[in-house]
Structure 1
Amino acid sequence: MAINNGLFTSNTDMWATPQDFFDKLNAEFNFELDVCATEDNAKCSKYYSPEEDGLQQEWKGICWMNPPYGRVIGDWVKKAYESSLKGATVVCLLPARTDTKWWHDYCMKGEIRFVKGRLKFGESKNSAPFPSAVVIFGDKAKTNTLIAM
């Protein structure tokens, strides 16, 4: 069995959202802005690139976020939560790291949908080596709801 070595190492912290997975959520939320994307993996026509640094931008409307999964992930989740307090809805695809400070400080304040099984990110033939969750902040979130997707 061939293994995508880049998928199972720390060569990158960018995990491209599976299109079919995004499409289902987009049908529900009608996203307006991808807050953390590159030209190659943007899911919305309006997006913030690494050069624009989405952490420094104002997030408005209905936002999609699949952030880098490295050490800065907590900064992205904090920004998502804080943006929801200013009126944005932010739907986040995250590793289900329920043992982390950022998970307890922010994710537990949103709607959490655990993903059944493991996602296949980007063009990978192999599933991710971690479980995922969708966390929703804002008016469209159901408070303290745990849903298996």
Structure 2
Amino acid sequence: MNTDVMFSSKTDLWATPQAFFNELDAEFNFTLDPCSNGENAKCAKYFTKSDDGLTQEWAPHVVFMNPPYGREIGTWMRKAYEESKRGATVVCLVPARTDTRWFHDYVYGVADEIRFVKGRLKFGDAESSAPFPSMVVVYRGITQ
């Protein structure tokens, strides 16, 4: 794998480290991956780009979301928050970008839990760590 492309602005896709996912899955028992490319699905139920996870209903699933890290990340975080209000539990692996609008609108003071990842993750098959810190944002679904 060419890590030069992986760690650049040429891509907004960052493959979740399997061991990191496994730890979270043991805690949450995920049932939906709304941001899959089809080959990297973390759950039996998943949505690809052609399915458009932003237009699908996520509730009552327990969702693992590692969204594209580009400009649309705010839209994904809004969707995660909204779906939690409909009953989905959503666990998001995202860059720790505390200076962004999406962080202040949909994470800080809104999420049920923010876990800052110690150190930097190695995404996919990369030998080098990511050039940014990560965090796990948890929205616990509200049942009506």
Bucket of the pairwise TM-score, normalised by the shorter protein? over 0.9
Normalised by the length of structure 1, the TM-score is 0.90
Q: Over residues 48-101 of structure 1, what are the superposed CA-to-partner deviations in whole Å (9 max), with x where a residue is unaligned?
A: 000001001011220010000000000000000000011110000000000001
Other-structure match for 1:135: 137
- Residues 1-149 of structure 1: pairs in structure 2 closer than 5 A: 4-60=3-59, 61-108=61-108, 109-110=110-111, 111-139=113-141
How much identity, in percent, do the aligned residues show? 61
**Unaligned runs of at least 5 residues, structure 1:** 141-149
For these two proteins, the number of residue pairs brought into alignment is 138
Q: Over residues 98-126 of structure 1, what are the superposed CA-to-partner deviations in whole Å (9 max), with x where a residue is unaligned?
A: 00010011111111000000000001111
Counterpart of 2:24 in structure 1: which amino acid?
A: L
Poorly superposed stretches of 4+, deviation over 6 Å: none
Calculate the aligned-residue CA RMSD, in Å: 1.2
**Unaligned runs of at least 5 residues, structure 2:** none
Normalised by the length of structure 2, the TM-score is 0.93
User: How far has the Cα of 1:10 moved from its partner?
Assistant: 1.3
User: How far has the Cα of 1:41 moved from its partner?
Assistant: 1.0
